[in-house]
Chains A and B, each alone.
Chain A
Amino acid sequence: MSYNKRQTDKLIRRYGKALFAARVNFVDSFAPEKSRALAFHNRRLRLRRVAVVALILILAFTMALGVASALKLQVFNFNFAQKAGYAELENRGAENGKYFYEPTYVPKGYKLTEKMKNIFVGDTAATWTYQAGDKAYINIDEDKSRYTKFGINTENCVIEKRVINGIEVSLYMRTDTYTISAYMQINGTFVEIHSRISKNEMIAIIKGLQKE
């Protein structure tokens, strides 16, 4: 047998064996045990992907909160759009508020001079005005409509977020006029309190708000 013939036979034999082994290995790779291992591997891969996506979402949300905080935006109860010199505030309660919240505390010297309810179409608004002397007022405006939207002058304003009695409150304190405004949403009712009083007095008024 010539060398070339022996070489050819060797090649064909090896190739035949390699082909056979490759085909059997390929078929074996679909065996239930291997499929299970593959499925386990895929599940782990999927979980890892989900974890990465979740991490990205958490990071994005944290960053959004950070940006919102830096821009003095309230992101939980209201929609705020920060513009040059003012903020646009929009109540975004899931549904209309059911109650008004009446103040049970006002600082010494203030007396109720006006109380109006259902002053607009739809019977959703109410207002309380307290007065001490000729120029000192406390105005409390409430609106049960979930479509409340208005602007706040933020020029020369120090803005602070607080949680008072479980309610998120935005305090806008003007450094030029020394007025203080508080904005909050209580069970769908939007509440605005405006006066020239101290922050502690404002907080005491908020703490004293009670369902009518």
Chain B
Amino acid sequence: MLTILLQVIQTVIETIEKKYRKMMQYVSYSVLKDHQLAEDAVQESLLIIDKNQHKLEDLDSARAKNYIYTVTKNEALHMAEKNFKNNVTFSDPETFNNIEGDVDVNSFCDEYGFSAGVSIALNQLSEADKDMICYRYGGGYSFREIARMMDTDEAILRKRMERARKKLRKIIKEDNERV
């Protein structure tokens, strides 16, 4: 029984590797700009995904894709931060604000008629805030589910969401008053 279970787990992770490894390597490299570090980040991400396999209902679902992308990106960012602390310098730290696969905020604001101030505010959102908004309003997860996925507390998430909301509301209010 245990052998069968282990085999199933093994198959899932192999499938993830087969399907998503290229994308994971690409995302990691776009953040780290180092093949060795990128490979380490992919391995670490696979370990995390392996531990949280129960969160992936269907490997082909949009939610699973979003989760694998987010874990990989965050692991790469985490590794980049660690290497910054170890005095490893990266040629273009701005890269972290423009990771491939993320929304082009300026185009997004133009499309929906939001002001430049909103663009700036959205650009200033931390990666964790973006992930939270993405999970909540894109993936439709509950705060409890997001807290589990992001390894944090539900209350912290709610507070963080409220802060992001307040900040954006302030900018929108200023914009509306100006008009």
CB contact between B65 and one of A13, A18, A19, A28 (< 8 Å): that residue: A28
User: When each residue 94-133 of chain B gets 1 if its CB lies under 8 Å from chain A and 0 otherwise, what string results?
Assistant: 0000001111000010001010001000100000001001
**Main SS of the interface on chain B?**
helix
Given contacts A3-B176, A17-B137, A21-B138, contact A12 B164 (CB under 8 A): yes
Interface size class of A (residues with CB under 8 A): 20 to 34
Does A26 belong to the interface (CB within 8 Å)?
A: yes
The one of A8, A20, A30 in contact with B62, judged by C-beta atoms closer than 8 angstroms, is: A20
The reply to whether B108 and A8 form a contact with Cβ atoms under 8 Å apart is no
User: Cα distance A9–B136 when bound, in Å?
Assistant: 12
Question: Which A residues from 61 to 111 make CB contacts under 8 A with B?
Answer: none
Place the interface of chain B in its size category. Answer: 35 or more
Bound complex: CA of A186 vs CA of B133, how far in Å?
83
Residue numbers of B with Cβ under 8 A of A are 19-20, 22-23, 26, 62, 65-66, 68-70, 100-103, 108, 112, 114, 118, 122, 130, 133-139, 164-165, 168-169, 172-173, 176
If A12-B133, A15-B137, A19-B103 touch, whether A5 touches B169 (CB-CB below 8 Å) is yes
Given the complex of chains A and B, what is the CA–CA distance between A21 and B65 in angstroms? 10
Among A14, A20, A35, the most chain B Cβ lie within 10 Å of the Cβ of A20
